[in-house]
Amino acid sequence: MLGSVLNTHQQWLCRELASLGYVVTRQVAVADSGEMIEQAVREALARSDLVITTGGLGPTSDDITRDRIARLLGCPLREDPSIVRHIEDLFGQRHRKMPVTTRVQALVPEGATVLPNAHGTAPGLVLEIAAGRWRVGASLLIMLPGPPRELRPMFTNQVVPLLQARFPQLGDFVCRTFKTTGLGESLVEERIAVSLRGLTTQGLELGYCARVGEVELRCGARGPSARHLVTQAEEIIRTLLPDHLFSVGEDTLEATVVRLLTEQQRSLAVAESCTGGLIAHRLTNVPGASAVFLGGLVTYSNEAKKQFLGVQDGTLRSHGAVSAETVREMAEGARSQMKADYSIAVTGIAGPSGGTPEKPVGTVFIGLASQRPTRVIQSTNRYDRETFKFVTSQQALDMLWRVLLKERT
Amino acid sequence: MLGSVLNTHQQWLCRELASLGYVVTRQVAVADSGEMIEQAVREALARSDLVITTGGLGPTSDDITRDRIARLLGCPLREDPSIVRHIEDLFGQRHRKMPVTTRVQALVPEGATVLPNAHGTAPGLVLEIAAGRWRVGASLLIMLPGPPRELRPMFTNQVVPLLQARFPQLGDFVCRTFKTTGLGESLVEERIAVSLRGLTTQGLELGYCARVGEVELRCGARGPSARHLVTQAEEIIRTLLPDHLFSVGEDTLEATVVRLLTEQQRSLAVAESCTGGLIAHRLTNVPGASAVFLGGLVTYSNEAKKQFLGVQDGTLRSHGAVSAETVREMAEGARSQMKADYSIAVTGIAGPSGGTPEKPVGTVFIGLASQRPTRVIQSTNRYDRETFKFVTSQQALDMLWRVLLKERT
């Protein structure tokens, strides 16, 4: 609640649950205060078939979730010797002495099922809450440890089978995501809304999310005809947004680009100035990128632009490092140096400083070299530094995506 | 609630509010359902002096927050002609026709104050909720648009002055963040807890957050002695964790590294294989990095390692691309090619494929070259691909940080 931590649990758990057909109705975050934790859990139990808590099971003094929930439910805590042994073993493997405080993680509320933690010390805990206690029906309460690399495998390997056995009837939601680029949110809706009306009256739900450089559209439906409705929607969307739809599902633009390059057996090199390695980073996040991505040159200095990309000293002098001429030489240099089929290059002024009246902060040139004539586009991306880098990397990937799409058809 | 969107609003707003001395007690996310939005807002108004909603003010059919809140509060909606003109102007500037649906954004609940949107179409809205309606005291309800580049300037320029005028007495919370590397969460607490006990009994609150490669410690306090308590805590923490504390405040490890390089007037080059540009990306996120960061070579292929870094063909053949010998030549090559004072290099197997029995997925070598003898460390980072990249980049930055720290003393 102090803003130091980004809540990635919400996104990850919601996505995993949605892929199983379960829809999360509410997500709540509270401070590490015993009273607020108790209140939030009490309210959630009064509302839901399933409540999942994350975090607060660890060894430090602010880890009070287990304790407070046991108190709320009136379950005494007992030390589980097998958990103590597991924690001792973990510290032994790392040749470290087990701090005394760590032992608190072996406390288990009476009646709870223990989910062993294969990647850390604190186990998960599952409690059945009887019908009539907090609401008419029964609820299941699952406490998971906070660190993502402990939580995620525990959820996938232990919680999912448990949910599927316990709540088979709730998992009837079908959802599909469509990612588009090059159109604003209103225009995406304007293109498709009328044609989808027949389906929305039958229960299809539409959700739009405008992001930097892309608009995401989600189609969801419940019940026996859900899959059919969503599939019909997909046909309509594919027909109406052919030049803008780059992904059906969760694929990113970089994953789409890597897939097209792989299909076409083409290789790629990147030369980055103002994006500082982000394009290479995004591409190499995609498993299998090494088959098509040869390498990237982050040429921040003029020296590096000359040395690694063969940018001419005269070009830098007469046009400057941020210019159409320089980005053209960067793209062509990267392509020829790495013997790549395609190359993309970017140069610009990320800010906050470095702008001039003719080339203000946000000015960007993007070049794309291939066997065809090199193309250069210019843009002005006025954002904070990190958004600037992202938008610019998105434009560069978008430019390449459109070229690859044409090559395919 | 489907997991497609990461909630960055929570982090940003909580951090901004905390820096003003306000503590957020609860954050709630609900689906785009009218009933759930009404319920969540009603509950929040019954609990809080201030309620901020984000999103749902846009032009698409799922943007129902304004409408539902007006209904909940019984305020009729009226079209504000000045907002219509603003939206028409925006579309005119972009040479686009204004879609009809966009006009819904000009609707204002009776009695609301309008916060003009300098970066988009939907304005923010402020409503005073009278004492005795939902709770004993009065509440302030502020609706902000969802896109971060609209929300953030609106909050900073328009909401902050409003809060400071309306809730001066609530802004008495002082909080400081301490970031450490190289120790687990329990060990950080073990080193400092006893020495801080005198302060915690006086009201100092401690929070720990274990992350991949770092542990964050937060000290907070309320009231007139808050600043004094936090400052005393800082002295103790600095004394007890000298080799582990890399930042007091929100600075990242990369920002600390860039600051030390800048202070020492030293330059840096990077050669990355398995981190694929992430180290360069992290470094170039820091404003002013261009003064010390010369460039990065993302040498994914063996060819690129030889061509740009001068790695010997024999080294790659006898030891392989993922080896201490190769990373040493990568680091030394990057340093000499770019004439840098320092260079860091990484090579490893990110996975999911590419592992062998001797070098399983997760194997990493990190090299650091400087005027002193080159150092190489080995690690096994068994994580998913993106976490692997982050952990490895963290280890490389940590290695450089420690060297820079020694140079300073």
Band (pLDDT 50/70/90 cuts) for residue B96 is confident
**Residue A247 and residue A179 in contact, taking contact as beta carbons nearer than 8 Å:** yes
Where is average pLDDT lowest: A2-11, A321-330, B102-111, B112-121? A2-11
User: Does the beta carbon of B176 lie under 8 angstroms from any beta carbon of chain A?
Assistant: no
By Cβ distance, the residue of B28, B175, B301 closest to A28 is: B28
Q: Are A349 and A359 in contact (CB under 8 A)?
A: yes
> Nearest CA to B336 among B275, B271, B406, B258?
B271
- Give the chain A residue whose CA is nearest to the CA of B101: A186
Q: Please enumerate, as own/partner, the contacts of B73-77 that have beta carbons within 8 Å and a separation of 24 or more.
A: B73/B109, B73/B127, B73/B129, B75/B109, B75/B110, B75/B111, B75/B112, B75/B127, B76/B109, B76/B110, B77/B107, B77/B108, B77/B109, B77/B110
- Quick one: closest CA in B to A251, which residue? B4
Chain A CB within 8 Å of residue B279 CB: yes
Nearest partner of A199 among A179, A182, A176, A181, judged by Cα: A176
ipTM greater than cut 0.90: no
Distances (CA, A) of B348 to A94, B274, B367: 22, 5, 12
Confidence band for B409, pLDDT divided at 50, 70 and 90: low
Q: How far A109 CA lies from chain B's nearest CA (Å)?
A: 22
Closest residue in B to A386 (Cα–Cα): B285
What mean pLDDT value characterizes chain B? Answer: 92
The per-residue pLDDT for A1 is: 82
Q: What is the average pLDDT across B303-329? A: 96
Q: Give the sign of the dihedral formed by CA A331, CA B312, CA B393, CA A179.
A: positive
Element (H, E) at B299: strand B293-299
Higher per-residue confidence, B403 vs A353 = B403
Question: pLDDT 10s per residue in chain A (409 long)?
Answer: 877 777 889 989 998 998 888 989 999 999 889 999 999 999 999 999 999 999 999 988 889 999 999 999 999 999 999 999 999 988 887 777 888 888 899 999 999 999 999 988 999 999 999 998 888 889 999 999 998 889 999 999 999 999 999 998 888 889 899 999 888 888 899 999 999 999 999 999 888 887 777 898 999 999 899 999 999 999 999 999 988 999 998 899 999 999 999 999 999 999 999 999 999 999 999 999 999 999 999 998 899 999 999 999 999 999 999 999 999 999 999 999 999 999 999 999 988 888 888 899 999 999 999 999 999 999 998 888 888 999 999 999 999 999 999 887 6
pLDDT digits (tens, 9 = 90+) for B76-88: 999 999 999 999 8
Task: Give pTM, 2 decimals.
Answer: 0.79
Write the pLDDT tens digit of every residue in B248-297. Answer: 988 999 999 999 999 999 999 999 999 999 999 999 999 999 999 999 99
Whether A303 contacts chain B with CB within 8 A:
yes
3-state helix, strand, coil in chain A (%, to 5): 45, 20, 35
Pairing mode, strands A26-30 and B26-30:
antiparallel
Q: Which of residues 182-211 of A touch B (CB under 8 A)?
A: 185-187, 189-190, 193, 206-210
* Contact between A126 and A162 (Cβ < 8 Å): yes
Phi, psi of A21 (to 5 degrees): 95, 5
pLDDT band at B101 (very low <50, low <70, confident <90, very high): confident
Q: How many residues are recorded in chain A?
A: 409
CB < 8 Å to A275, chain B: 281, 284
Write the pLDDT tens digit of every residue in B198-249. 999 999 988 888 777 789 899 999 989 999 999 999 999 999 998 899 999 8
**Mean pLDDT value of segment B167-185:** 88
Tens-digit pLDDT profile for residues B125-138: 999 999 988 888 89
How many residue contacts between A and B have a Cβ separation below 8 Å?
Answer: 316
